[in-house]
């Protein structure tokens, strides 16, 4: 079965939004879950968060950043093209329900993963304060959409080109120093989530993190995505992707995330050499 691209939108220089025709996935998808995509029979399998789903239309929305070979290949596809595999929904769905006052913190492409959580939190009657950050204004995404589901939205950029010139941790510290919250939920770079958990642990704020681990089969058999949580081995694909951030062995997790860096660099260099004209093909995708 092929999964057709119905819409493709360029969000900035490195991020895309794609709407796929995937009725069976759309029917069951819930906030917090992901899908595993493979472009063709020779391609690798990569996990991507389901940012939105519409069961009535049979569609799911994926937002991704071009980082490695497969995401760059995906960026070269156009509206009307198809991918060979789209397995999902996978992972456990978000289930914190009505927690009270919630802080959502998203960094980089993790902002895309915060959106379905913000929508879920607001629909469950929570007060939602959202903090999002990116390196520059150009890389910031989904500001208007997050405003719709947030009682307050704080924006930071590393270079100060938009919002506050700061990392997302700085406004988080200021807020927690003067106000009480019931839950923190974060998605973003691993080092950002580690630093965030160090802050929230001091003030005893329960913190959920969504891990973007390296995966292969995504069914719990290969153990590629294993992570130590509370001293026990867990698999991100079936036990997560959400975990108690205060219990994650961050140093061990980040070390495992670097295992395939050299192989990916070689693969990416070969792909770019073979597809020098790809950028010119996709501008109007």
**115-143 tens-digit pLDDT:** 999 999 999 999 999 999 999 999 999 99
- Return the closest-CA partner of residue 249 out of 193, 203, 199: 193
Q: What DSSP designation does 6 have? A: E
User: In angstroms, rounded to a whole number, what is the distance separating the alpha carbons of residues 171 and 55?
Assistant: 37
pLDDT in tens, 60-91: 999 999 988 899 999 999 999 999 999 999 99
DSSP 17-72: EEEEE-HHHHHH--TT-EEEEESSTTSPPEEEEEEEEETTTTEEEEEEE--SHHHH
More confident residue, 115 or 216: 115
- Domain ranges in the chain? 3-92, 96-203
CA distance 251 to 241: 17
Percent of the chain with pLDDT over 70: 91
Nearest residue to 29 via CA among 108, 109, 119, 98: 119
pLDDT at 284: 37
Q: Is the dihedral of CA 239, 244, 250, 252 positive or negative?
A: negative
Q: What is the CATH number of domain 96-203?
A: 3.40.50.80
**Do 221 and 147 contact (CB within 8 A), yes or no?**
no
Q: Report pLDDT digits (tens) over 189-202.
A: 999 999 999 999 99
Is 282's pLDDT higher than 50? no
Q: Are 151 and 127 in contact (CB under 8 A)?
A: yes
DSSP one-letter string for 149-197:
H-SEEEEEETTSSSSEES-THHHHHHHHHH---SEEEEES-HHHHHHHH
Q: Percent of the chain having pLDDT more than 90?
A: 82
| C-alpha to C-alpha distance for 114 and 119, rounded to whole angstroms | 9
Q: Residue 260: its pLDDT value, please?
A: 62
> Which one-letter DSSP state was computed for residue 218?
S
Same fold, 3-92 and 96-203: no
**What is the residue-averaged pLDDT of the chain?**
92
Residue 65 CA to residue 67 CA, distance in Å, equals 6
- In whole angstroms, what is the distance from residue 130 CA to residue 145 CA? 12
Here the tokens at position 163 are 């919002």
Measure the CA–CA gap between 50 and 269, rounded to whole angstroms: 28
pLDDT of residue 281: 43
Residue 275 clears pLDDT 90, i.e. is over it: no
- Whether the pLDDT of residue 266 is over 60: the answer is no
Q: If one looks up domain 3-92 in CATH, what number appears?
A: 2.40.30.10
If you average pLDDT over residues 147-174, what whole number do you get? 97
Range of lowest pLDDT (152-166, 215-229, 258-272): 258-272
């Amino acid at each position: 079965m092929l999964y057709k691209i119905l819409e493709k939108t360029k969000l900035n220089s490195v991020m895309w939004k794609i709407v796929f025709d995937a009725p069976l996935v759309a029917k069951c998808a819930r906030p917090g879950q992901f899908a595993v995509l493979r472009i063709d029979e020779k391609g690798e399998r990569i996990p991507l968060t389901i940012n939105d789903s519409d069961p009535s239309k049979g569609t799911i929305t994926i937002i991704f950043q071009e980082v490695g070979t497969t995401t760059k290949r995906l960026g070269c596809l156009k509206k009307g093209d198809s991918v060979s595999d789209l397995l999902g929904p996978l992972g456990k769905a978000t289930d914190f329900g009505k927690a009270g006052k919630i802080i959502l913190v998203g960094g980089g492409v993790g902002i895309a993963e915060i959106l379905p959580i913000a929508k879920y939190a607001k629909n469950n009657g929570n007060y939602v304060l959202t903090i999002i950050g990116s390196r520059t204004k150009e890389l910031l995404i989904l500001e208007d959409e997050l405003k719709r589901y947030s009682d307050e939205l704080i924006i930071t950029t590393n270079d100060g080109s938009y919002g506050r010139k700061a990392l997302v941790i700085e406004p988080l510290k200021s807020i927690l120093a003067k106000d009480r919250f019931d839950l923190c939920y974060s998605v973003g770079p691993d080092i950002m989530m580690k630093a965030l958990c160090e802050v929230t642990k001091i003030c005893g704020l329960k913190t959920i993190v969504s891990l973007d681990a390296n995966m292969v089969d995504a069914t719990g058999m290969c153990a590629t995505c294993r992570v130590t949580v509370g001293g026990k081995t867990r698999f991100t694909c079936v036990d997560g992707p959400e975990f108690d951030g205060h219990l994650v062995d961050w140093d061990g997790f980040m070390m495992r995330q670097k295992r395939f860096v050299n192989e990916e660099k070689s693969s990416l260099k070969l792909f770019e050499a073979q597809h020098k004209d790809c950028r010119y093909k996709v501008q109007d995708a």
